[in-house]
Amino acid sequence: MTTACASVGTVRPPFQPLYQAFVDTVRVDGSDWTGELERRNIDGRLDNRDTLLIEMAELIGELEQRSIEEGLAVRVASVLDGYLETRWFDVVSKQSSDREVAHPEREILLRFWIDPVGPLGYKLSAEAVYRRVADPSLSSRAREVMVPPGHEGEAILVRILNGVRERFSG
């Protein structure tokens, strides 16, 4: 029997963002992003790791604040894991919950993965998903798909991402 799981002590899920997820690069120091990766230490860690954690806290805080402003409740936010996930959110009733989804087409969940790509840069991957089927024989992740273009969940996600870009752009 094989069990897939995340590292001990992490809140980050063992799966990656869906391939349709939004991906952006964020420079938290306000400078222009050149697209060039900075040199890493020989052990693979980035230089200025303490600075990265401080900046990661700002980025997670900004994502959390903007999610809350949109009416979503945050389920988990971790600076050390570079991860934030909301509770399920009904885009019609504007209510968050952890109960089984009653209206799959209108109940969304947002996830954000943040990965360092330079001394003060991050790759931000973001998805807004809904459950395509209510099949308990499938894992929760296997039931999820990205919301379609034009869905209110996509509009919420884009507003959050645009706000983050505005906050951290020069």
Cα distance between residue 74 and residue 96, in whole Å: 9
Q: Tens digit of pLDDT for each residue in 79-91?
A: 999 999 999 999 9
User: What pLDDT score does 135 carry?
Assistant: 72
Q: Could you count the other beta carbons within 10 Å of the beta carbon of residue 34?
A: 11
Question: Does the global pTM surpass 0.85?
Answer: no
List Cα–Cα distances, 55 to 4, 15, 43, 150, in angstroms: 31, 24, 21, 32
Confidence of residue 29 (pLDDT cuts 50, 70, 90): low
Q: So what's the pLDDT on residue 36?
A: 37
Residue 51 has pLDDT above 80, yes or no: no
**Residue 13 and residue 40: Cα distance in Å, rounded?**
25
pLDDT at residue number 104: 77
CATH class of 22-31+41-168: alpha beta
pLDDT tens readout for residues 66-125: 999 999 999 999 999 999 999 999 999 898 887 766 777 889 999 999 998 877 678 889
